[in-house]
Amino acid sequence: MFAIGHFALGYLTGKTSSTLLKTKLNLPLLLTISVIPDIDLILQFAEPTLFMHRGPTHSIIAQTAIMIPFLIIYRKKTLPYYAALLSHSLLGDFFTGGFEMFWPISQGWFGTIGLDVMGITNVTIELILFAIALPLMFKTKDIQTLLKPNNHNLALIIAFGAVLGPMLQIGQSTEMSLPTLLMIPSIFYLCLFAYSLLIELNAKLNKPPKILTLNQATPNPKAEYLLTNNSLF
């Protein structure tokens, strides 16, 4: 599945979990986590023997192991992100070729092999998921959070790359070349993420220098006394 479908599945599972658990949702983080297993497309160039596509980063055992410290620290707040992460492999990739579900215990490949990721059935499913998730993001005002400067927006650089990568491969006969029908949702997300990243970077660059008040500048009471009494010299 491409990023368009993964974003939608990650949002739908994450939003449902956060609503049930009554926890706050961080949309940039949720969208990024929903595509993070596909980082193996980059890692496989660095370490091809370990990181083949849909290998260890897609394993539900590896994903659970990574989430355990967060579950211990942040408890139920982690569950929406855990759900989004699992949705990548168990929903998105399971029906489009499968993955190494139980790595490192088993190197076996689990999933159906019938659905071609480039085929019209998968593309239609991704478009339907996009059409369901997007209005929901607007209705819940989650997507509007991306239009304001926020530190968390910077996480979207990974989501941006996940959309851009397949677009750059259009016309090439690779397994990650973006099907034409997914162009419009891909351009939408590219523009949204680029805007979100740029307003955050702009806010950071134009942040006014912090001006210290007298009390902040002179935490030492004796120094403050000298300053206020003009008797420094």
Q: How far is the CB of 141 from Zn ion (least distance, A)?
A: 29
Q: Spell out the residues 6+ positions from residue 50 whose beta carbon is closer than 8 angstroms to its own.
A: 43, 56
Q: How far is the CB of 120 from Zn ion (least distance, A)?
A: 20
Q: How far is the CB of 117 from Zn ion (least distance, A)?
A: 9
Compute the C-alpha angle 135/140/144, nearest 5°: 85
Q: Interface residues for Zn ion in 93-132 (CB under 5 A)?
A: 93
Residue number, 21 or 167, with CB nearest to Zn ion: 167
Q: How far is the CB of 37 from Zn ion (least distance, A)?
A: 5
Q: Interface residues for Zn ion in 76-95 (CB under 5 A)?
A: 93
State residue 74 phi and psi, 5-degree precision: -100, -5
Q: How far is the CB of 57 from Zn ion (least distance, A)?
A: 8
CA–CA distance, 82 with 13 (Å, rounded to integer): 9
Name the residue among 191, 60, 168, 185 with its Cα closest to residue 125.
185
Residue number, 38 or 142, with CB nearest to Zn ion: 38
Residue number, 15 or 88, with CB nearest to Zn ion: 88
Name the residue among 126, 95, 176 with its Cα closest to residue 9.
126
Using CB under 5 A, pick the residue from 38, 100, 126, 200 that binds Zn ion: 38
- Written as one string, the DSSP assignment of 79-102 is HHHHHHHHHIIIIIIGGGT-B-TT
Both tokens assigned to 100: 């190494």
Region from 34-42, 69-77, 187-195, 216-224 binding Zn ion, contact rule CB under 5 A: 34-42
Residue number, 28 or 55, with CB nearest to Zn ion: 55
Positions that interact with Zn ion (CB under 5 A): 37-38, 93
